[in-house]
Amino acid sequence: MSASGVDVLERADGGTPIAEDRPRWTAATRIAFRLSFVYFGLFCALFPQIPFVFTGLFAKDLSEDTAMGLWGPLGPIFEWTGRLIFGTDVVLHKYSGSGDQRFIWAFVFSLLAVAVVATAIWTVLDRHRPNYRILNAWFLLAVRLCLGGQLLWYGVAKMIPTQMPEPSLAALLQPYGEFSPASVLWNQVGSSPVYEILLGCAEVLGGLLLFLPRTATLGAMLSLVSLAQVFVLNMTFDVPVKILALHLLLLSVVLLAPQARRLADMLLLARPAEPATQPEPFARRRTKIIAVTVQLALGVWALSGAVQVGMKFWEKDGGGASKPPLYGIWQVSEFTQDGQPLPPLTTDENRWQRLVFDVIGATYQRMNGTLVPAAVVVDTSAHTIVLSDPPPQPGGQSVPIATFTFDQPSPDRLKLAGQLAGRPVTIALEQVDLEQFPLRSRGFNWVQDYPYFR
């Protein structure tokens, strides 16, 4: 390096040396880069949902253990961290998704500890390096792809829409005050599919823009806005995806950090700004074209996997699924047990008030208003119904609680006879008109003389 701070590269042919401008980063910038590189690099590599997105069309065929990635073999480390640092046992709940379970908190703490130690060692050993221009370009490329993949995944889940499904029939019977804040948010968004689809479109657009270097800055800005809203909703409605949402928001900030001065000049200071440029790890034009093609293909691959999984869920358990036999809310008009009619008393612990058959499972409502979910099997050829307690976790065994034969003398009448909790019962039911619920029937109105807040 010359005294002026410019690197001098010797040419292979022995000709005139080539000077390459390599400005020296400040000490704080170099330390921040090292910490970010280690921490976010490990997070993106080890948080299972991030690499899972890039399995594309193979995603639907992966087992749960495979989808957990390295959390399985590294689990004992995070369990040890939970016991040593937090004084509690942490166990990986595979079916919790990207929730804020203790295991993930121990995982995040472990990554942070490793990143701090690694940054300290790296700073001591490499303190004379002026900058990490090339390594930073590769790092930002990886961050772009990882963030883009997550936005595509969550965006498609809203565009189809499956992430926030239409409120269940049982939800129509549940008092508002009994909903958790997260359920309020889910039902609110699910009640307006158009709104949910538009949210998904914004996320998908941001994700697609991130897969192209030329549009990456715009994609990062759109992602920042979308993820800021997601994070605020998760925090204020207690949605258990706070850890992942925060990290995706921070990844957007990391991508925009090299453009901070230009964006401030343009958006805040009303000053001329240089064109925004993403750090580029590829020098030759041919290599750049190949790299852009690969990135675009990777985005299409990730998007196709998200669409496939989303459509499969939509057709099986979502709004595209066919309505099951006896679908609807059924009001109990007569209930006999051991041959004796039971009057509709709110203190009766045996009598039912309603029985609900939904796309996924069933729900029976006790006389005190309690809604009890149940697994259900309806055999229309044998005219039998089997209700079971839901298994404690996916893949578990259900315990039967009731077996009935049924007769449907008319579309809105149903008669059940069989065993409930080991005792003989007969139940007569009448179907409830679902359009009596304003949440389903109110619709959209251009003209309203008064607000409708029933």
Each residue of 143-167: pLDDT tens digit? 999 999 999 999 999 999 999 999 9
H or E element at residue 77: helix 71-85
Q: What is the predicted pLDDT for the residue at 406?
A: 96
DSSP for 196-223, please give it: HHHHHHHHHHHHHHHTSGGGHHHHHHHH
Q: Which CATH fold topology does 328-439 show?
A: Lipocalin (2.40.128)
Question: Above 60 in pLDDT, residue 387?
Answer: yes
As beta bridge partners, residue 357 has 328, 362
Report, as an integer, the average pLDDT of 395-406.
85
- In whole angstroms, what is the distance from residue 192 CA to residue 453 CA? 16
pLDDT tens across 243-286, in order? 999 999 999 999 999 888 888 877 888 788 777 666 778 888 88
Question: Above 90 in pLDDT, residue 399?
Answer: no
Residue range(s) occupied by CATH 2.40.128.20 in the chain = 328-439
**φ and ψ at 269, to 5 degrees?**
-100, -5
**φ and ψ at 346, to 5 degrees?**
-70, -15
The alpha-carbon radius of gyration of the chain (Å, integer) is 29
The CB-based long-range contact list for 203-206 (8 Å cut-off, 24+ gap) reads: 203/151, 203/152, 203/154, 203/155, 203/158, 204/151, 204/152, 204/155, 204/156, 204/159, 204/303, 205/155, 206/148, 206/151, 206/155
Rounded to 10°, the helix 133-159/242-256 angle is 130
Q: Nearest CA to 330 among 383, 389, 408, 387? A: 408
Peptide bond into 161 cis (omega under 30): yes
H or E element at residue 107: helix 102-125
Report, as an integer, the average pLDDT of 53-74.
87
H-type alpha helices, 270-323: 285-316
Cα dihedral value 7, 11, 16, 18, nearest 10: -30
